[in-house]
Chain A
């Protein structure tokens, strides 16, 4: 976003921008997540495409004013297709010195900096580590600075409501939101309604927050803004027609699980132990009991998956959700579900690892754990969602594959998908294809490991069915009777059949296909999971420059889809960017004769488009023929 000469004329017409990235930053207690999500809703209403990224600290309430207590919310909106929350913000809203300190490095030169000068007290400056007030020492000269005493103006605006100073002070975020609404031409109605609803039982708080919101807006309307700062408009994007909502990955996963279970004709038993960033799956599902969902907050990660395994034995679809450390604890129970050939869905909302790692940051470093992380030869299915909305469809697919093939399925999402929001074109749920489960009923010739010839899935007989009493477990079973067997030849055959069953699923999913570009060329960028948007955007930039670059995004991590080997073979160079130290790249190199190149990044943050473009250009130069 660049200022224009037209900005000097007052009252100015709104300057038209194609795309804007705003970052709201403040103390954990400043309500930045609420501010950001309200701005997001108003922006969606304005018809822009958008993508958001909340970035909050691990501490629930870090000491006020400190840099490690800064909470951020970034939104990227545009009149065109938006794939990511963007790299460097055009606009930074800093509610205190710490928020400025943490974020001023990333703000673009020439970017708009809105600061609450009222919070730049000696004490706050010291806590943020500033020896001199940056508003006064010229260090912010490369930005367009709008320094306003938001604290004072908020207190003035809400004075008449008669709140205590603490509650009055907390309306600052709404004052700021009101100003931002004016700057970017957003409507206030939706937020007014939301505040009335949120504070229905405390009408004074609703009144004060609305007063602050309006005051911020009125300030924008009337004040003579400094040179170079203008009001803007971002025309609506050309989105596919239909009904939309904003959706985060964890909401989408929860709703996809409910949808998938209904398509299968099963109830859901969701066992979970709270863990960042997966807990909101449990919260979302706990509200959906009337959809045939039972949620069980277990004593630990192991009990959570064990209860899900027990429920699947009983004829529900057992589901457990967690993050990497939780999967580590669940490994043995996932193994027994694999061995007993019971359906089970494990959602791993990945976070920065290893060990406790970076709990609130995003990473894709559990791919090896998902594909290989069990004792013995223990193949199962691994899926990965690419966008927040894709979590819905992948959760449905996880239940379809688990119940069709009697196997555990690990669905990989991550902290970024879990918490980011994007506009989502609502699906027609009536058009989704059901995959009803038929429990085995026939006692004649029954044994628990008799299989479907095509899928190799074993039968699913549930307790309570007369004549099908049987025992399963973690011990090896005879392939033709289902009884315990220590026969060496039988073990070899059973190991093979378990392998073949999972490998065969590749025939039942879409073959490998490039998402963007041709089926051959100089460079194929292979991604998986939440890097979809960044890679897509970077590849389209290079394609516009005329490069022979294609993007292929894997949703089926194991088994890998058919036709992948041929595609990998059709490019001069294969580049694999991932938010880990190089995991998918090793899987590809193990499975195909491909000299794929790794582009690892483990900073706890998504890829920057600029960085991806640079890396791709380097590979293109290297591969120039």
Chain B
């Protein structure tokens, strides 16, 4: 495409590569892939300026199926590779694809640092609470007691809560969604719009090694009772008819699930979501009886790659044109004749 040709309108197909998708039948990754391919054109993304960087694991095959630039890297290191890429070319739209093992086990350190530095990219963490590619061992998000080949008597590891980890790392954007949700594109769009590191946990079903682990939440029938979709400035209500909500218990500084109209609970008792409130977001990461979905936290902060550019400008202003001849002669020199 020459620079003078009219701007092309991209569709979902433009973002799909010619490679045969090789995830297991029924894998939640298919739905996530479709959501991403559908969402990118609507965001004005172009295949040439979009890059997907992944680590290792089932989720990390993702870049092969996108007709964008992609790099299927090494286990856990995608955030660090993406950091270098973004520093080399800040104009690129960089997405990191990782999983609960890749991002929170072997790559936990890099996830921590990419979030606290607030590099402008999107991190999609597919959480299926299991190691799929190595055939079903427990992962750092598996529930205690999970029976797997490496934990025949049940896992004794305490699980990490991904969104809580992200908040602890001082992420500036933390969201949660699930693979088959119609609202996943909305979360992806919000992540993309956010300047800085956006963290999205996507609950994802592994039909082979951990089938149905999120079923109560994601099922059409049972789901409404467990899905709390957050909206900034709106009371945090859920349930098939919005009859349930979250109320603050001031004596324990915690949130409890209440039913509006019961025990004297009224609409006014329901806490209004404020996505800039880190304390509230912290409580929303791990609620009893219900799962908070959508944007838990969004509070823009200094963006690392922009600060790098600012310092570059500062150095250029201070030191002027680079001059190798002068560089080698800085300090003391002498002449032998």
Contacts and interface: CB of A to CB of B under 8 A. Distances in A.
Given A242-B336, A243-B329, A426-B328, A314 B72 contact: no
Contacts of B70: 470-473
Contact of A463 (B17, B69, B315, B325): B69
A308 B332 contact: no
Nearest to B112: A299
* 7 A-B pairs with the lowest CB-CB distances in the bound complex, closest first: A310-B84, A473-B72, A307-B84, A314-B88, A306-B80, A289-B315, A303-B80
B320 A290 contact: yes
Contacts of B320: 290
Interface string B309-337: 00110111011111011011101111111
Interface in A474-493: 474-475, 483-484
A207 interface: no
Given A243-B333, A289-B312, A429 B325 contact: yes
A298 interface: yes
Given A309-B81, A469-B47, A426 B74 contact: no
11 contacts: A242-B336, A255-B327, A267-B88, A269-B84, A299-B113, A300-B109, A303-B77, A306-B73, A310-B82, A332-B74, A475-B72
B91 interface: yes
B110 interface: yes
A466 B329 contact: no
Contacts of B315: 289-290
Contacts of A300: 109
A389 to B, nearest CB: 11
Interface string A274-312: 000000000000001111101010111011101111111
A412 interface: no
Nearest to B110: A303
B327 A291 contact: yes
Contact of B48 (A306, A463, A474): A463
Contact of A483 (B19, B77, B79): B19
B63 interface: yes
B72 A296 contact: no
B85 interface: yes
A530 B333 CA distance: 24
B49 interface: yes
A259 interface: yes
Given A245-B328, A315-B89, A426-B333, 20 more contacts: A190-B332, A241-B335, A255-B324, A267-B88, A289-B311, A290-B312, A290-B316, A290-B322, A291-B322, A292-B322, A294-B312, A296-B83, A302-B77, A303-B80, A311-B85, A313-B85, A314-B84, A463-B51, A463-B69, A463-B92
Among B46, B64, B83, B92, max chain A CB count under 10 A is at: B83
A239 interface: yes
B278 to A, nearest CB: 22
B63 A471 contact: yes
Contacts of B19: 483-484
A244 interface: yes
Contacts of A483: 19
Given A290-B322, A299-B110, A472-B70, A464 B87 contact: no
Given A259-B324, A262-B324, A427-B328, A244 B73 contact: no
B41 to A, nearest CB: 14
Contacts of B110: 299, 302-303, 306
Contacts of B67: 469
Contacts of A242: 335-336
B335 A243 contact: yes
Interface residues of B, number: 62
Contact of B17 (A239, A318, A336, A471): A471
Interface string B186-212: 000000000000000000000000000
Interface string A254-274: 010011001000010101000
B63 A467 contact: no
B316 A310 contact: no
A524 interface: no
A307 B83 CA distance: 6
Among B46, B66, B67, B69, max chain A CB count under 10 A is at: B69
A294 B315 CA distance: 11
Interface in A409-467: 426-427, 429-430, 462-467
Among A271, A289, A314, A474, max chain B CB count under 10 A is at: A314
A329 to B, nearest CB: 11
Interface string A234-250: 00000111111110000
A474 B60 CA distance: 12
A318 B84 contact: yes
Nearest to B60: A473
A258 B84 contact: no
Among B77, B319, B329, B333, max chain A CB count under 10 A is at: B77
A41 B332 contact: yes
B336 A310 contact: no
Given A340-B71, A463-B48, A303 B88 contact: no
Interface string A13-45: 000000000000000000000000000010011
B125 interface: no
A473 B85 CA distance: 14
Contacts of A466: 1, 46, 48
A468 B68 CA distance: 9
A47 interface: yes
A347 interface: no
Contacts of A470: 69-70
Contacts of B331: 245
Contacts of B319: 290
B9 to A, nearest CB: 15
A468 B81 contact: no
Contacts of B85: 310-311, 313-314, 463
Among A240, A243, A464, max chain B CB count under 10 A is at: A464
B282 to A, nearest CB: 23
Contact of A310 (B80, B314, B322): B80
B335 A244 contact: yes
Contacts of A484: 19, 64
Interface in B137-159: none
Contacts of B80: 298-299, 302-304, 306-307, 310
A471 B64 contact: yes
A455 B311 CA distance: 38
A340 B63 CA distance: 15
Nearest to A471: B70
Interface string B222-263: 000000000000000000000000000000000000000000
